[in-house]
Amino acid sequence: MSAIKAAGLTKRYGAVAAVSELSFDIAQGEIVGFLGPNGAGKTTTLRMLAGLVKPTAGTCQVLGAPVPGMSLRRVGTMIEEPTFYPYLTGRANLRHAALLHGDVPEGRVDEALAFVRMQDAASKKVRAYSQGMRQRLALARALLWRPQVLLLDEPTNGLDPTGIAEFRESLKAVAAEGTTVLVSSHILAEVEKFVDRVLAVDKGVLKFDGRLTDLLARMGEQQVRYTVRAADQAALVAGLERLGLSYAPNGPDGADVLVARDRSEDLVSDLVAQGVRVLAASVHGDDLEAAYLKLVNGQGRPA
């Protein structure tokens, strides 16, 4: 059974098509990135899947049942800016949400708070929360009833780099338990780190549906660019040449290196094996973004 299915999903506002004939099928347990710039139709699509907006045409199903319907009780959502009662604490807000939903076990509120690392702030009123704290609390609320499907709209907005990394690991843990995650974002370099499959949209039209590696390959983005710094630049250059890698010197102790994606995770260990003392290696996260821009600018064919 599909976890999420859309068939010809369309939403028009007057003469403007926010979403046009989207069709896709997401299996249970998948983490799928929903990619596109602001205004591409991502939020509208998620709102239709969550039963918040009625499609102009087409259909959508969640957990094998039409939307809207009772299957939405097994869905957790973070769509658009999360809202809470500012005069209540984080814990009280979650308790209220649990009461409205029903069937939330005693103790689940504190479990969800601990899962998103918000237990220390649970007794503070939400009016004192930063945007990043609100995002964490929104994820905790979405997870309260142990949903089988998560619909997340730009969930890392307002999070610092550490918070983004923790959020990413949280989603991986949720998916490992069998939850299906559809997560929209325009920060493509971040999505690249935790999804295998992507749906890429532009102006409401589906441009690509497939594995991330296939999108990168189709757009010619089969190489990863690293900046490597070493204790001895001459030794670094010699090691790169022995490995047959393309490079350009970068400063007095480094080099920018192009390496095939399937070899990228071994770059540092390969250099160490060549006797290079690597001080730092950072990957440039623009590969997926470059591929997406090529796709929407017409340099690749839709799936």
Measure Cα distances from 79 to 27, 29, 51, 269, 274 in Å.
21, 20, 12, 41, 49
In a domain, 95, yes or no: yes
- Say which residue, 292 or 184, is predicted with more confidence: 184
- Say which residue, 292 or 285, is predicted with more confidence: 292
- Say which residue, 156 or 125, is predicted with more confidence: 125
CATH number at residue 68: 3.40.50.300
- pLDDT, residue 84, reads 96
Q: Are residues 186 and 55 in the same domain?
A: yes
In tens, the pLDDT along 118-129 reads 999 999 999 999
Average pLDDT (131-143) is 92
Q: Are residues 88 and 124 in the same domain?
A: yes
- pLDDT, residue 235, reads 93
Which one of 157, 182, 217 terminates a domain? 217
Which one of 167, 196, 217 terminates a domain? 217
Q: Are residues 211 and 264 in the same domain?
A: no
Q: Are 201 and 42 in contact (CB under 8 A)?
A: yes
Q: Are residues 32 and 19 in the same domain?
A: yes
Query: Which tokens belong to 286?
Result: 């623009």
- pLDDT, residue 95, reads 96
Q: Are residues 80 and 111 in the same domain?
A: yes
In a domain, 299, yes or no: no
Q: Do the bridges between strand 180-185 and strand 2-13 make them parallel or antiparallel, or are there none, so unpaired?
A: unpaired
Q: In the chain, how many domains are there?
A: 2
Average per-residue pLDDT for the chain: 87
Q: Are residues 162 and 280 in the same domain?
A: no
- pLDDT, residue 284, reads 66
Q: Are residues 178 and 104 in the same domain?
A: yes
In a domain, 296, yes or no: no
Concatenated DSSP letters for the chain? -EEEEEEEEEEEETTEEEEEEEEEEEETT-EEEEE--TTSSHHHHHHHHTTSS--SEEEEEETTEESSSGGGGGEEEE-SS----TTSBHHHHHHHHHHHH--PPTTHHHHHHHHTT-GGGTTSBGGG--HHHHHHHHHHHHTTT--SEEEEESTTTT--HHHHHHHHHHHHHHHHTT-EEEEEES-HHHHTTT-SEEEEEETTEEEEEEEHHHHHHHTT--EEEEEEEES-HHHHHHHHHHTT-EEEEETTTEEEEEEEGGGGGGHHHHHHHTT--EEEEEE-TTHHHHHHHHIIIIIS---
Q: Are residues 187 and 282 in the same domain?
A: no
In a domain, 69, yes or no: yes
- pLDDT, residue 246, reads 77
Q: Are residues 149 and 10 in the same domain?
A: yes
In a domain, 25, yes or no: yes
For residue 21, the enclosing domain spans: 2-217
- pLDDT, residue 265, reads 78
pLDDT at 302 over 60: no
| Per-residue exposure over 229-240, b if at least 16 CB sit within 10 Å of its own CB, e if not | bbeebeebeebb
- pLDDT, residue 33, reads 92
Q: Are residues 108 and 132 in the same domain?
A: yes
pLDDT at 80 over 60: yes
User: Is 274 exposed, middle or buried, given 0-12, 13-18 or 19+ CB atoms closer than 10 A?
Assistant: middle
Q: Are residues 137 and 232 in the same domain?
A: no
In a domain, 264, yes or no: yes
Share of the chain above pLDDT 90, in %: 55
Band (pLDDT 50/70/90 cuts) for residue 298 is low
Least confident among 25-39, 64-78, 99-113: 25-39
Q: Are residues 238 and 176 in the same domain?
A: no
CA distance 50 to 57: 16
Which one of 190, 217, 244 terminates a domain? 217
Question: Would the CA dihedral through 69, 75, 80, 85 be positive or negative?
Answer: positive
In a domain, 253, yes or no: yes
- pLDDT, residue 39, reads 82
CATH number at residue 266: 3.30.70.120
In a domain, 88, yes or no: yes
- pLDDT, residue 260, reads 76
- pLDDT, residue 167, reads 83
